[in-house]
Chains A and B, each alone.
Chain A
Amino acid sequence: MDKKDKKAKLILTSERTISYVVLLLLTFLCLLPFYILLINATRSHPDIQKGFSFLPGKSFFTNLKNVLSNENLPVIHGIANSLLISGCNAILTTYFSSLTAYAIHAYEFKFKRALFLFILMIMMVPVQVSTLGFIDLMQKLKLMDSFIPLIAPSIAAPVVFFFMKQYMESNLAIEIIEAARIDGSGEFRTFNNIVLPIIKPAIAVQAIFAFVNTWNNYFVPSLIIKTNTKKTLPILIAQLRSADFLKFDMGQLYMLIAIAIFPVIIVYICLSKFIVRGVAAGSIKG
Chain B
Amino acid sequence: MKADRNQAVKHKGVSYAKWGYIFLIPFFVTYLIFSFVPLISTFYNSFFENYMSGLKHIGPNFVGFENFKTIFNGDLLKYISNTIIIWLMGFIPQIIFSLLLAVWFTDLRLRLKATGFFKTIIYMPNLIMAAAFSMLFYALFSDRGPINNILMNIGFLKEEFRFMTSVWATRGLISGMNFLMWFGNTTIILMSGIMGIDTSLFESAAIDGANSLKIFTKITIPTIRPILIFVFITSMIGGIQMFDIPQILTNGKGTPNRSTMTLIMFLNNHLFSKNYGLAGALSVILFVVTSILSIAVFATMTKGITKKKGGK
Q: With CB as the reference atom, state the residue of chain B lying closest to A269.
A: B120
Q: With CB as the reference atom, state the residue of chain B lying closest to A27.
A: B121
**Which B residues from 26 to 58 make CB contacts under 8 A with A?**
26-28, 30-31, 33-35, 37-42, 44-45
Task: Among B35, B38, B131, B267, point to the contact of A156 (Cβ < 8 A).
Answer: B35
CB distance from B7 to the nearest CB of A (A): 14
What separation, in Å, do the CA atoms of A22 and B264 have in the docked complex?
34
Encode A147-182 as 1/0 by CB contact (under 8 A) with B. Answer: 001001101100001000000000000000010010
CB distance from B32 to the nearest CB of A (A): 9
A260 at the interface (CB under 8 A from B): yes
B112 at the interface (CB under 8 A from A): yes
A137 at the interface (CB under 8 A from B): yes
Given that A99-B26, A136-B276 are contacting pairs, would A215 and B136 also be in contact in the complex, using a CB cutoff of 8 Å? no
Q: Are B27 and A100 in contact, CB atoms less than 8 angstroms apart?
A: yes
CB distance from B284 to the nearest CB of A (A): 8
What separation, in Å, do the CA atoms of A269 and B284 have in the docked complex?
41
Task: Among A129, A153, A241, A285, point to the contact of B39 (Cβ < 8 A).
Answer: A129
Given that A16-B110, A156-B34, A234-B131 are contacting pairs, would A283 and B290 also be in contact in the complex, using a CB cutoff of 8 Å? no
Task: Among A128, A257, A273, point to the contact of B267 (Cβ < 8 A).
Answer: A128
List the A side residues contacting B16 at CB < 8 Å.
107-108, 187
List the A side residues contacting B12 at CB < 8 Å.
178, 181
Q: With CB as the reference atom, state the residue of chain A lying closest to B38.
A: A133
What separation, in Å, do the CA atoms of A260 and B244 have in the docked complex?
14
Q: Are B30 and A285 in contact, CB atoms less than 8 angstroms apart?
A: no
List the B side residues contacting A223 at CB < 8 Å.
268, 271-272
Q: Are A153 and B129 in contact, CB atoms less than 8 angstroms apart?
A: no
CB distance from A283 to the nearest CB of B (A): 5
What separation, in Å, do the CA atoms of A272 and B166 have in the docked complex?
38
Q: With CB as the reference atom, state the residue of chain B lying closest to A154.
A: B30
Q: Are B100 and A237 in contact, CB atoms less than 8 angstroms apart?
A: no
Given that A124-B290, A283-B189 are contacting pairs, would A31 and B248 also be in contact in the complex, using a CB cutoff of 8 Å? no
Which of B124, B144, B212 has the most C-beta atoms of chain A within 10 angstroms of its own C-beta? B124
What separation, in Å, do the CA atoms of A12 and B176 have in the docked complex?
31
A83 at the interface (CB under 8 A from B): no
How many residues belonging to B are interface residues under a CB distance threshold of 8 Å? 106
Q: With CB as the reference atom, state the residue of chain A lying closest to B234.
A: A285
Q: Are A279 and B123 in contact, CB atoms less than 8 angstroms apart?
A: yes
What separation, in Å, do the CA atoms of A256 and B245 have in the docked complex?
17
Main SS of the interface on chain B?
A: helix
Q: Are A36 and B121 in contact, CB atoms less than 8 angstroms apart?
A: no
Q: Are A268 and B127 in contact, CB atoms less than 8 angstroms apart?
A: yes
B286 at the interface (CB under 8 A from A): yes
Encode B279-312 as 1/0 by CB contact (under 8 A) with A. Answer: 1100110110011011101100000000000000
Q: Are A133 and B132 in contact, CB atoms less than 8 angstroms apart?
A: no
B3 at the interface (CB under 8 A from A): no
Give the interface segment out of A58-66, A67-75, A115-123, A198-206: A115-123
Give the interface segment out of B70-78, B81-89, B235-243: B235-243
What separation, in Å, do the CA atoms of A104 and B21 have in the docked complex?
9
Q: With CB as the reference atom, state the residue of chain B lying closest to A259.
A: B132
Encode A120-150 as 1/0 by CB contact (under 8 A) with B. Answer: 1111111111111111110000000000010
List the A side residues contacting B31 at CB < 8 Å.
122, 156
Q: Are A121 and B298 in contact, CB atoms less than 8 angstroms apart?
A: yes
Q: Are A191 and B124 in contact, CB atoms less than 8 angstroms apart?
A: no
CB distance from B253 to the nearest CB of A (A): 10
What separation, in Å, do the CA atoms of A191 and B22 have in the docked complex?
13
Q: Are B42 and A132 in contact, CB atoms less than 8 angstroms apart?
A: yes
Q: Are B110 and A49 in contact, CB atoms less than 8 angstroms apart?
A: no
A37 at the interface (CB under 8 A from B): yes
What separation, in Å, do the CA atoms of A126 and B121 have in the docked complex?
28
A280 at the interface (CB under 8 A from B): yes
Q: Are B39 and A107 in contact, CB atoms less than 8 angstroms apart?
A: no
Encode B110-135 as 1/0 by CB contact (under 8 A) with A. Answer: 10100010111111110111111101
Q: Are A130 and B35 in contact, CB atoms less than 8 angstroms apart?
A: yes
List the A side residues contacting B2 at CB < 8 Å.
none
Q: Are B294 and A121 in contact, CB atoms less than 8 angstroms apart?
A: yes
Q: Are B131 and A216 in contact, CB atoms less than 8 angstroms apart?
A: yes
Given that A128-B243, A129-B283, A285-B238 are contacting pairs, would A268 and B27 also be in contact in the complex, using a CB cutoff of 8 Å? no
List the A side residues contacting B104 at CB < 8 Å.
19, 23
Give the 9 A-B residue pairs with the shortest CB-CB distance, closest first.
A133-B38, A107-B20, A133-B41, A103-B23, A124-B294, A133-B42, A260-B132, A156-B30, A153-B34
Question: What are 19 residue pairs bridging A and B, where the CB atoms are less than 8 Å apart in the complex?
Answer: A16-B112, A30-B121, A36-B146, A52-B146, A97-B27, A121-B298, A124-B294, A125-B294, A129-B42, A133-B37, A153-B30, A155-B27, A219-B243, A237-B135, A265-B128, A275-B127, A276-B120, A283-B192, A284-B234
> Apart from A241-B138, A265-B128, what 8 extra A-B contacts exist at CB < 8 Å?
A16-B110, A23-B112, A37-B136, A119-B27, A124-B294, A132-B271, A238-B135, A272-B123
